[in-house]
């Protein structure tokens, strides 16, 4: 690979942008992304412990790669994983992936699988099927929040549990199984944060489904996958026998080329819906609320004009960008940003960097509750564009529509903490004082 002279060290930046610890320090991470966007937006990256890849940091390049789904495919390498972890999965399962979810697949399989739930997740369907249920769940969580009094942790009281209940509702998982599902959604995306793992272990302490931690992350993840495959296997059987009006039924009875969805794909469908639909929405809710605590003028704007809430929701999603990257692999030699990408090269699409790209956003490092336009790419782009984005928007809009009128003043009582992780991460604590109106 041709070397270029930069004022920064290639080794340092390469190791930093994959380092899960760096993601706990947003300012440091954004500084690295800004350096790459300015000096080398299509950057050949050779971090220690990971296979090399191209780091794509500009909004325009991320969208053009995401749109070219034949040229850049998902299946080969979906997200950044240390070489050691990749080898373990290959040896244990004989495959490069533990699951066969939508994000792991390409057309034509991907299109056929996605088609099964497509209409269910369209904005009109989500609104008419779910709005009253989601509003009731939001109100219930806000009541709980109020019952805590004036000082509380917004992540651990509200943001973590509200989207979990919504997603479990549509997957038909009863409330008593929620602690178990929390473990799935918190640990499947490879959470490396000791506090997050400790929290999910505390909530599942002594649960009969879980044999306990082996001390090896890969072994635990594999064991967890088996537990969930068993759990959702029973859900499939039930929904085939007793169809209901939920997404679980749509998946269980979905057909591909006239045949039922293969077992592993069906089980993986539940897993991706549960996992992709939880932490992402939690993180945006917490990050948006945090910015309102930091900026009373922005809170006042929304309270004065609640019709701005949908714009605020988009800004909260841009600001937090809960999914930090996805990867693609080139199927043939091509050019991108003046660089030659070889067939088989991997590319990491750093969405958080695209969402702070000064070429697209006016004052990108300012949180503006009424930012408009807001062409963020936190939901990705192209054929894999987030399936649940209309649901996520609805959940966040309803939460803030219900919550903001009840709040008089809001402030942080300590600096919030961000979880460790280079894939899906965000606030793990948000200590606030609220005076209720």
Residues that bind ligand HEM (CB under 6 A): 66, 102-103, 114, 272-273, 276-277, 280-281, 284, 317, 322-323, 326, 351, 378-382, 384-388, 391-392
Q: Work out how close the CB of 277 gets to ligand HEM at its nearest, in angstroms, rounded to a whole number.
A: 3
Q: Where are the alpha helices (DSSP H) in 193-278?
A: 194-203, 217-241, 247-252, 263-276
Q: Say if residue 125 is exposed, middle or buried (CB neighbours under 10 Å; 0-12, 13-18, 19+).
A: middle
79 vs 210 by CB, closer to ligand HEM: 79
173 vs 392 by CB, closer to ligand HEM: 392
The total of other beta-carbon atoms located within 10 Å of residue 305's CB is 12
Q: Are 75 and 105 in contact (CB under 8 A)?
A: yes
CA trace torsion 315, 316, 320, 324 (10° rounding): -60
Q: Work out how close the CB of 208 gets to ligand HEM at its nearest, in angstroms, rounded to a whole number.
A: 28
45 vs 66 by CB, closer to ligand HEM: 66
249 vs 273 by CB, closer to ligand HEM: 273
**What separation in angstroms does the CA of 290 have from each of 40, 159, 226, 361?**
32, 11, 36, 21
Q: Work out how close the CB of 6 gets to ligand HEM at its nearest, in angstroms, rounded to a whole number.
A: 29
For residues 357 and 359, give the distance between their C-alpha atoms in angstroms, rounded to a whole number: 5
418 vs 434 by CB, closer to ligand HEM: 418
56 sits in which H/E element: strand 53-56
Q: What is the DSSP letter of 261?
A: P
Q: Work out how close the CB of 224 gets to ligand HEM at its nearest, in angstroms, rounded to a whole number.
A: 19
Q: Work out how close the CB of 314 gets to ligand HEM at its nearest, in angstroms, rounded to a whole number.
A: 10
Q: Work out how close the CB of 381 gets to ligand HEM at its nearest, in angstroms, rounded to a whole number.
A: 5
368 vs 397 by CB, closer to ligand HEM: 397
The SS3 of residue 12 is helix
């Amino acid at each position: 690979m041709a070397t270029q002279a930069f004022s920064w060290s290639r080794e340092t930046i390469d190791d930093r942008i994959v380092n899960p610890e760096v993601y706990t320090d947003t300012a440091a991470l954004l500084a690295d992304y800004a350096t790459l966007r300015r000096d080398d937006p299509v950057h050949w990256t050779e971090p220690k412990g990971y296979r090399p890849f191209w780091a794509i940091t500009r909004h325009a390049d991320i969208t053009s790669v995401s749109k070219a789904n034949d040229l850049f495919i998902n299946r080969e390498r979906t997200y950044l994983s240390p070489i050691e972890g990749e080898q373990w999965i290959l040896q244990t399962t004989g495959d490069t992936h533990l699951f066969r979810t939508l994000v792991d697949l390409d057309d034509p399989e991907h299109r056929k699988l996605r088609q099964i739930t497509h209409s269910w997740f369209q904005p009109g369907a989500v609104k008419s099927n779910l709005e009253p249920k989601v509003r009731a769940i939001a109100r219930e969580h806000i009541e709980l929040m109020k019952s805590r009094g004036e000082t509380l942790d917004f992540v651990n009281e509200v943001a973590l549990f509200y989207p979990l209940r919504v997603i479990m509702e549509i997957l038909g998982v009863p409330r008593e199984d929620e602690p178990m599902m929390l473990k799935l959604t918190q640990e499947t995306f490879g959470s490396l944060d000791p506090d997050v793992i400790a929290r999910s272990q505390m909530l599942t302490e002594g649960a009969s489904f879980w044999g306990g931690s082996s001390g090896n992350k890969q072994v635990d993840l594999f064991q967890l996958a088996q537990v969930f495959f068993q759990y959702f296997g029973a859900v499939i059987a039930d929904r085939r026998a007793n169809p209901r009006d939920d997404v679980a039924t749509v998946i269980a009875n979905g057909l591909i080329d006239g045949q039922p969805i293969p077992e592993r794909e069906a089980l993986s469908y539940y897993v991706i819906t549960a996992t992709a639909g939880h932490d992402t929405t939690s993180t945006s809710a917490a990050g948006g609320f945090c910015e309102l605590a930091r900026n009373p003028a922005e809170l006042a704007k929304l309270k004065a004009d609640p019709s701005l809430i949908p714009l605020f929701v988009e800004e909260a999603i841009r600001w937090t960008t809960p999914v930090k990257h996805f990867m693609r692999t080139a199927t043939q030699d091509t050019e991108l940003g003046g660089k030659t990408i070889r067939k088989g090269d991997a590319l990491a699409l750093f969405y958080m960097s695209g969402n702070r790209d000064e070429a697209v956003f006016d004052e990108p490092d300012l949180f503006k509750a009424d930012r408009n336009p807001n062409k963020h790419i936190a939901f990705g782009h192209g054929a894999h564009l987030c399936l649940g984005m209309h649901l996520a928007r609805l959940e966040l809009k309803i939460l803030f529509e219900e919550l903001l009128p009840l709040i008089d003043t809001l402030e942080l009582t300590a600096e919030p903490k961000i979880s460790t992780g280079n894939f899906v991460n965000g606030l793990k604590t948000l200590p606030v004082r609220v005076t209720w109106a």
